[in-house]
Chains A and B, each alone.
Chain A
């Protein structure tokens, strides 16, 4: 039971970060049906910028919380700029091209961003300075740290404010209108290009915050972190129903929990000794584990493939005839 609760806590934390990243994918997809392949790299750049700023400010003696906030405050506008730049240069000219074309430029942009980051921050794994004092609280046998609480709170706030923005403001209405029918939205006086650019910028801003959270939570950042994180967040978006904002939130949290529980229990479930198979390795309470927790990363992909095969519209998505 302790493992279960602990993995739930860990899964919820990771999942809420996935959810925030997934929002970036889903917003862009909802509006122009493009998988912004480079979104993971935006998250990475967010983490990297924050890393540099935090490292720079640590000797200044400012309070730790302020340092992290300044780090995030620098990461967000830079990522927004990157998001806007890539929409403008790589995606907008191809808006009416065949579907494969913007996908391929997205891959190109992703490689370029990754290697620019490699040039600036080297290929080493960077250790985030652990400046926020971490305390653990115990709830029913599971430990939850201050950082985890902060991440859950920040992600929840971000999601809530995005929901308000999309469903309660004129800008949100314009976004939803553009998603439904860009031509008609244009006829109604909505500047579609502006709305699409704003969508990219918002997604990138969310991604930047997610990058900072991810970096402080796991304590590391590397120029390659964006691709796996991006892929997981994309899986989360598909799980919830791509293009659907509440879906991305649900999908992210679910994926985090599935992954954490999977990693926690796969070893026990694939222990051949526990199945009662008499093996030499099992003598005296030994184990013979087929798949250990090092297969954790496989879960996201399995979820992705299973969802696409059995329920391509995702949990909350609507059935669309000939999408993709």
Chain B
């Protein structure tokens, strides 16, 4: 550009000179610049645009890396350190993290103070997961560098994950097989522990399924009795009640049999114990069935570590939580999140699409339509907690309360639908996301070319036929985009759910084997709320911290999977209805 500019002036001045020669009165032509300056080319703005994009990408990448790193490494087995302190105490634990801190100098010994003062009053400390909560009353301990006399990693230290009381770190001192104490033998222990776990699962299965079924049936009989009394009056219902009482007696007999079987297994189980010894020498004797997983943390080959890592992930995605959600799995939360999101889509899709269809295709475009449209757009900006309050007040208390009075009077004053539940939660979220769907659908409908509609109308199709056969198929990918956005927003929303049905620990899933199989009135667990609960509401937030990252990773993965599925479906539709080569 500049070289062109430099070449031109001599030529133009030559032309000017010729002009002057021809007519003296004409002023020489003003020099004209032929190149655009920097601001006209937009180069500085380009740096700004690119910079903004780069900043956004860096922040997202950073966030993802933090989540991915912490989430992916949490389950990797880490070594156990045996730390001897200068004052003679010995602790054993897994190193969690470290920070620099400023120790309280007067409380330190002479030598320690000298070390700290050398470092300008700062020292480094490490957080050890010492576990053994039942013995120590605490799971974690800070150890400052200047206190440490010696750190070793003894090979005979084991890491036990227990059904209750969390982790135990220590040695195996011995075991009891069928009530007979004996020396520890790795092979025998492995076999007996597996058998004990099988017994544990057997008990759980009996309690959950068989006894659960009987309890469910007894509860239904009890409700039937109450219903009969409410409908027919005390006297008329007497035969029904007598019949029902008989049935309950039968069920209770069945219950006794099962309970006896459970007690039998329990009694057997009590004979199989393992003696564990913590680093200070104190011993406990838990039943083997209480040990979920154990490994010699300092004596693992790479493949063994991988095995433990995968087994922990397996437990995480397929089991129920233990220890106030800080351990075990999140299956109920995964199930709750997916079920709620899908239910929400089922509600929001027809509702949003039909609304948008009317608004765009049938309603007379004018002031009122504009007001409606602006209101819908504004709804998208209402804080989600407001929807939660509305959902609780309208759906749960008003609608649910009415349903209870009409259909479940026998259960009152216990609410059936008149409290938070998965149905109300998904309806609340549907309400929250419906503006997204309406706006996206409207745009998709508006983007269908006029020539398509005209072609159909000219064929003698009615307006509805045109919409049904030509407009909607063409707009479907755009509508799907709206659904994807709605799903992404709905799956990640937590605040309103806390009011309309999410709980810390749901005793049962919304779908199970008991009549009527799908229980939309039940409260449920949600991964988003799980993160909040484990990280910030738990008695032991340090223990829950790694779970926060793992659960975040899982929630992100889940949302990515759900969105990816929707995007694949949309692209398939797009290809089907793609405009031709014209």
B is a partner of A: no
